[in-house]
Amino acid sequence: MGEFCPEISGVLMADTFFCTSITIEHLHFNFGAFKTSAQIMPNLPGIEEIAGDFGGDFFKPLLICDANTEYLAVKIRGNAAIPVCTLEAGESHKDWQAVETILRNARDAGLGRDGIFIGVGGGVIGDLAAFAASIYMRGCSLALVSTTLLGMVDASLGGKTGFDLFGVKNLAGTFFPARHVYMPMESLATLPLPEWKSGMAELIKTAILDSDNFLEDIASLIAVFPDGSFSGGFPPDFASRILAIGTDLSRCISRAVRFKGAIVEEDPLETGNRRVLLNLGHTFGHALEAAAGLGTISHGEAVAWGIARSCDLALALGVCPPQRAERIRALLAAYGYETASPHPLMNSGAPGAFIQALGSDKKKRGGNLSFIVPGEKSAQAVKTAADSAAAVPAASDSFMDTISQIIGI
């Protein structure tokens, strides 16, 4: 396994850990007209490995990263003469400007329609690189090296791309699955705590949809984190704590990837009623992100808060046993997520902005908003008119009144 263990400087844990305890898992998915291969692997792929996966003689790639992941992109590139496009980091830079920068780099590097965009980073870089790939010369090829927990368990798989516009998250986007997704556990070694927090929320979301058994597995990881939650900083012994759960963590990631992949295979364009389940917590979460100002709160924290609100709504509608809703909320709270309402970021002006953001939700169909809420098992969609009397059976009051109560405004 020596070739998989190059030296990394400044990492929080021994690279060899991943090499010895984690084996490569190679998964294949069919997302509509697209085929995606996903690899959960100990180390970063080298550029030759990526070139090999694409096959053929012609390989003209562009590496796309942000300031935080540039060192990973450079490591992937090795000595190859491949251009690297480095964007500003963070959700607040997930805009057209960033997309245009990628397209300009591709044009300057002379990439044709058979060029390959390789995004190296988390959810933001993945969404941007994939969107740019989907429109460059009407679509070139795409690989993603997913370097965050959020990217691995959610964003990198299934083809949702996009960027934020007019303060609306992912208002512009496409469905454009990557040909190859690499999930190198090595890159988690340097993941900051907020990123863990962001990814764990999507992992919890997936576990709610999958099974209570999966929820238990996630609960068992919690001892690793400081004070048993995300509320503290990076403790000095964090590396050894993570070390202790490496295999369990990669198994959870694999389980989430397989679960999401299966759902997206059934409903790649979210036109049916399967894929929409993956939006559990997201209608509330996106509205909170927008009301607080995009980039103010991490996606994962917003989703965790949104899941708590979905539990409230499920209880109000009587579709989820109180014990299950309570268990979910308790797990979120144990991980240190803010679960109370109104959220501290919803200052005096934010409730109005929150309601407005809800009305812009992409899941709106026929003028109706859709919320995914936990059910007896997994989750289910509830739909209703945003600004009229409730269309949800079992809702005892007008829907917006219910929502107002839930978000505490």
Binding footprint of its own copies on the chain (CB under 8 A): 32-33, 57-58, 60, 96, 100, 103-104, 107, 110, 112-114, 134-139, 160-162, 165-166, 168, 170-175, 269-270, 359-367
- Specify the residue, 83 or 235, whose C-beta has the smaller distance to its own copies: 83
Reported as half-sphere exposure (CB side, CA atoms, 13 A), residue 406 has a value of 27
Distance CA(403)–CA(243), nearest Å, equals 42
Smallest distance from the beta carbon of 365 to its own copies, in angstroms? 5
- Using the minimum distance from each CB to its own copies, give the nearer residue, 175 or 305: 175
SS3 of residue 175 by DSSP: strand
Whole-number minimum distance, CB 100 to its own copies, in Å?
A: 7
What the block records as the tokens of 269 is 């364009």
Q: Do 406 and 281 touch, CB atoms closer than 8 A?
A: no
- The answer to whether 283 and 358 are in contact (CB under 8 A) is yes
Closest CA to 21 of 41, 45, 44, 47: 41
| Smallest separation (angstroms) from its own copies to the CB of 385 | 12
Beta carbon of residue 165, minimum distance to its own copies (angstroms, whole number): 6
Q: Are 81 and 146 in contact (CB under 8 A)?
A: no
- Contact partners, residue 357, CB within 8 Å, separation at least 6: 167, 168, 286, 287, 289, 290, 291
Q: Widest CA span of the chain, in angstroms? A: 65
- Nearest CB to its own copies, comparing residues 352 and 359: 359
Task: Give the residue numbers annotated as catalytic, written as ranges.
Answer: 138, 160, 202, 260, 270, 274, 279, 282, 286, 299
Contact 34, 159 (CB under 8 A): yes
Is residue 39 within 8 A of residue 46, CB to CB? The reply is no
Pick the closer one to its own copies by CB: 63 or 130: 130
* CB closer to its own copies, 109 vs 409: 109
Q: Report, in Å, the least distance between residue 172 CB and its own copies.
A: 5
Minimum CB separation from its own copies for residue 211, in Å?
A: 29
Minimum Å gap between C-beta 79 and its own copies is 21
* Neighbour tally for 180: CB within 10 Å: 21
Q: Per-residue b/e over 24-55, b at no fewer than 16 CB within 10 Å? A: ebebebebeebebebbbbbbbbbbeebbeebe
| CB-based contact 144:111 (threshold 8 Å) | no
In angstroms, give the least distance from the CB of 275 to its own copies: 11
From 281, 279, 286, 277, select the one nearest 312 (Cα to Cα). Answer: 281
Q: For its own copies, which is the closer residue by CB, 241 or 363? A: 363
Nearer to its own copies, 12 or 135 (CB): 135
Q: CA-to-CA distance for 15 and 43, rounded, in angstroms?
A: 8
Query: Is 407 within 8 Å of 346 (Cβ atoms)?
Result: yes
| Cβ-based nearer residue to its own copies, 165 or 219 | 165
| Among 336, 354, 203, residue whose Cα is nearest residue 290 | 354
Residue 114, SS3 per DSSP: coil
